[in-house]
């Protein structure tokens, strides 16, 4: 039995169905990231777990117990918000200690617990300051400390890094990952940033229009996306999508500007419309034993420091290749399409084949 069980969960608001039969399982100590575009139902699902928005149908069980009839304060859940939600008139120590005070924990024990969690998050030097004297990253650490000090059975994070600049996002993301590894806490984390999802999660759930598109480990989501939506949404830059038709022999794919062997040990019906998916790193200057060599016009060069991304023209399509930063780039570029790393989709349904 999983520690968190979400079963056929639905949520309708004003006649609009936000969640449409969501099923999720998470083991104790897992780090689940809910990811998807704006409006897909991520925050609605998190609020249903917290008890802030009751579902229309379905069930939520924590450690085998349904929590649908429990008040949010009785669910033993701590939530970290995007807006920090700190009390401006209290010191950092006061903010962290507040939930313990509300729970009736004696002052001496509160002081011990606050000192311990402040040390874990490296904010001991901030305990006498007020939130207005802190940076965004420091305030987020305080919000995390206030949640952590309660030792709840489940942590919920609602886009906690979206208000931070790029450098702080990396720093606090590392802090959250370290916190999870050190405490073994069970975490459900909402974000629209697929980089956060890939770097933090032990399990990712991709949502679209209130429906789970795929659930699995980060490597599975990235390398074997269940459909074209997941393939396009997860990864930066996005996966290259090359539409084509199956050849007369059922084992080759006719692309615009190239013919390649199907990346599957099966024979498909001739003329079937399929789409070949290739991550940018599978389009490179390195020879691929199971690949095809092409020389294509270069239309875009995007250096990123350690790598350079090229926009290459293949028929009517612009595909992205990933090369080392030291690569010499001219008007045309010789690349290999590594078919051993390709994914094949049905063009009509969008579902992965095989």
The CATH number of residue 19's host domain is: 3.40.50.300
Examine the domain organization and report whether 244 and 321 are in the same domain.
yes
Examine the domain organization and report whether 27 and 168 are in the same domain.
yes
DSSP 92-127: HHHHHHHHHHHTT--HHHHHHHHHHHHHHTT-GGGT
Per-residue model confidence (pLDDT) at position 98: 93
- For residue 351, being part of any structural domain is answered with no
In the block, residue with structure tokens 């489940």: 154
- For residue 288, being part of any structural domain is answered with yes
Buried b (16+ CB within 10 A) or exposed e, 303-324: eeeeebbbbbebeeeebbbbbe
Where is the domain boundary, 205, 233, 261? 233
Where is the domain boundary, 178, 203, 233? 233
Per-residue model confidence (pLDDT) at position 273: 96
Per-residue model confidence (pLDDT) at position 302: 95
- For residue 353, being part of any structural domain is answered with no
- For residue 352, being part of any structural domain is answered with no
Examine the domain organization and report whether 85 and 171 are in the same domain.
yes
Indicate the burial class of 251 (C-beta count within 10 angstroms; 0-12, 13-18, 19 or more): middle
In the block, residue with structure tokens 């229309």: 56
* Rounded Cα distance, 282 and 340, in Å: 9
Query: Could you state, in chain order, the average pLDDT of each consecutive group of 10 residues for the chain (354 residues)?
Result: 95 94 97 95 95 95 94 91 85 93 91 90 92 89 88 91 82 86 92 90 97 97 96 92 92 85 84 96 90 92 93 92 91 94 95 91
The CA R_g of the chain, rounded to the nearest whole Å, is 24
CB 45 within 8 A of CB 51: no
Per-residue model confidence (pLDDT) at position 160: 85
CATH of the domain at 334: 2.40.50.140
Where is the domain boundary, 197, 213, 233? 233
Tokens of 35: 């990811």
Examine the domain organization and report whether 244 and 229 are in the same domain.
no
What is the domain range of residue 68?
Answer: 4-233
Examine the domain organization and report whether 113 and 260 are in the same domain.
no
Per-residue model confidence (pLDDT) at position 354: 76
Examine the domain organization and report whether 184 and 252 are in the same domain.
no
Examine the domain organization and report whether 46 and 176 are in the same domain.
yes
Examine the domain organization and report whether 209 and 266 are in the same domain.
no
- For residue 220, being part of any structural domain is answered with yes
Tokens of 297: 């016009």
For residue 16, what are the contacts with CB-CB under 8 A and spacing of at least 6? none
Examine the domain organization and report whether 156 and 264 are in the same domain.
no
- For residue 308, being part of any structural domain is answered with yes
Examine the domain organization and report whether 317 and 204 are in the same domain.
no
Examine the domain organization and report whether 224 and 247 are in the same domain.
no
Examine the domain organization and report whether 29 and 131 are in the same domain.
yes
Count of structural domains, the chain: 2
Half-sphere exposure of 40 (CA within 13 A, CB side): 19
């Amino acid at each position: 039995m999983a520690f968190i069980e979400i079963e056929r969960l639905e949520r309708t608001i004003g006649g609009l169905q936000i969640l449409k039969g969501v099923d999720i399982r998470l083991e104790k100590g897992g780090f689940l990231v809910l990811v998807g575009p704006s409006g897909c139902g991520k925050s609605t699902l998190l609020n249903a777990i917290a008890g802030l928005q009751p579902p229309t149908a379905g069930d939520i069980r924590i450690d085998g117990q349904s929590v649908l009839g429990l008040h949010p304060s009785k669910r033993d859940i701590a939530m970290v918000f995007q807006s920090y939600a700190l009390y401006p008139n209290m010191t950092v120590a006061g903010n962290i200690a507040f939930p313990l005070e509300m729970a009736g924990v004696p002052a001496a024990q509160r002081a011990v617990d606050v000192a311990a969690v402040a040390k874990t998050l490296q904010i001991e030097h901030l305990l006498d300051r007020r939130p207005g004297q802190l940076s965004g990253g420091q305030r987020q650490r305080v919000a995390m400390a206030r949640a952590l000090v309660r030792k709840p059975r489940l942590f919920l994070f609602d886009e906690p890094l979206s208000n931070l600049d790029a450098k702080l996002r990396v720093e606090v993301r590392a802090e959250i990952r370290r916190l999870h590894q050190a405490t073994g806490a069970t975490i459900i984390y909402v974000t629209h940033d697929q980089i956060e999802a890939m770097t933090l999660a032990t399990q990712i759930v991709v949502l679209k229009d209130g429906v789970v598109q795929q659930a699995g480990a980060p490597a599975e989501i990235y390398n074997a996306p269940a459909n074209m939506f997941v393939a396009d949404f997860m990864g930066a830059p996005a996966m290259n999508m090359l539409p084509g038709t199956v050849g007369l022999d059922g084992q080759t794919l006719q692309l615009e500007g190239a013919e390649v062997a199907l990346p599957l040990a099966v024979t498909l019906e001739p003329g079937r419309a399929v789409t070949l998916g290739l991550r940018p790193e599978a389009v490179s200057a390195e020879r691929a034993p199971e690949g095809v060599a092409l020389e294509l016009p270069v239309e875009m060069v995007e250096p990123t420091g350690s790598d350079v991304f090229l926009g290459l023209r293949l028929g009517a399509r612009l595909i992205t290749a990933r090369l080392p930063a030291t690569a010499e780039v001219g008007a045309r570029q010789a690349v290999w399409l590594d078919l051993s790393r390709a994914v094949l989709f049905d063009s009509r349904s969008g579902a992965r084949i095989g």
